[in-house]
Amino acid sequence: MHFIDTHTHLYLENFDQDRPEMIKRAINRGIDHFLLPNIDQDSVASLLNLCKEYPKNCFPMLGLHPTSVKEDWQSQLSGFEDVLKKQSKTFIAVGEIGLDFYWDRSFADQQFQALRIQFEWAKMLNLPVAIHTREAFPEMLSEIEKAQNGKLKGVLHCFTGTLDEAKKAIDLGFYLGIGGVLTYKKSMLPDVVKQLPAERLILETDAPFLPPVPYRGKRNESAYLFETAVKLAEILNLSLETVAEITTNNAIELFKLPTT
Ligand SMILES: [Zn+2]
């Protein structure tokens, strides 16, 4: 069985002490592809270095995370635009990008502008987008709808919305990224996911954040994707092998990953 962790921050310093061992633990459980979303200009070098070290396993994205949209957002974006245009083949997606109104709304306008600009890059370069949304699902869906000209594709990473929001995202051509929240006791996500087509779901950890049960409170890592996959199989009433096959194929299709 093979799994793809479609959203994992393995380049962060949380893993500096044991990164090779941690990657080995994941590979030993069949989780052998790691898609790495960027955060801001300070994370690019470590992200690309990791991809250089593990060219068959790690794949880079480039984008500005909504919580990093501050005073200097325009200069960060113009730097990324140059890199993307010069090396669009290096990157598998524009990400992660999005809207996050959980912490504060002081850069809300700039978040919208940065999102729209990065949607345009994705369409122009024919790359998918990896979208982060917190406290902003209705706004995000309306932004996707406005930008959708038939060329925008991507994933709502760490999806935790309602059934209506899930259906709308799928109607707009998007995939839903399912992570550790699926295993949480009080989560409504299982009831939503149960009613969705497996062909639109991909798996992720968002490591080092949001670990699944039984690792809550600890650092998350890509090996723990397995617990979420087991839970998804149970919810969809499918075998684990089938979940592995479908979600892996979905990710290969969306991100145009090499299949060997
Ligand atoms: Zn993330």
Does residue 90 register a pLDDT over 80? Answer: yes
191 Cα: distance to centroid of ligand 1 (angstroms): 24
pLDDT, residue 88, reads: 81
Entry pTM: 0.97
- How many Å lie between the centroid of ligand 1 and the Cα of residue 151? 23
Per-position DSSP letters for 144-189, written without gaps between them: HHHH-SS---EEETT----HHHHHHHHHTT-EEEE-GGGG-TT-SH
- The pLDDT tens digits of the residues spanning 72-84 come to 999 999 999 999 9
Q: How large is the average pLDDT for residues 153-178?
A: 97
Specify the DSSP class assigned to residue 17.
T
CA of 251 to the centre of ligand 1 (A): 16
User: What was the pLDDT predicted at 103?
Assistant: 85
Mean pLDDT of 66-74: 97
Does the pLDDT of residue 219 top 80, yes or no? yes
Residues 6+ apart with CB under 8 A from 105: none
Mean pLDDT over 113-123 rounds to 98
The percentage of the chain sitting over the pLDDT mark of 90, rounded to a whole number, equals: 97
Please state the rounded mean pLDDT for residues 240-256. Answer: 98
DSSP letter, residue 222: G
For 27-63, what is each residue's pLDDT tens digit? 999 999 999 999 999 999 999 999 999 999 999 999 9
Q: What's the 124 CA to ligand 1 centre distance in angstroms? A: 23
Q: What is the predicted pLDDT for the residue at 139?
A: 97
Residue 69: pLDDT band (50, 70, 90) is very high
Model confidence at 104, in pLDDT bands (50, 70, 90)? confident
Note whether 56 and 68 are within 8 A (CB).
Answer: no
Element (H, E) at 83: helix 73-86
* Cis amide linkage into residue 212, ω under 30° from 0: no
Q: What is the pLDDT of residue 26?
A: 98
Neighbours of ion ligand 1 (CB under 5 A): 37
The alpha carbon of 6 and the centre of ligand 1 are apart by a number of angstroms equal to 10
Q: Using the predicted structure, report yes or no on whether residue 260 has a pLDDT greater than 70.
A: no
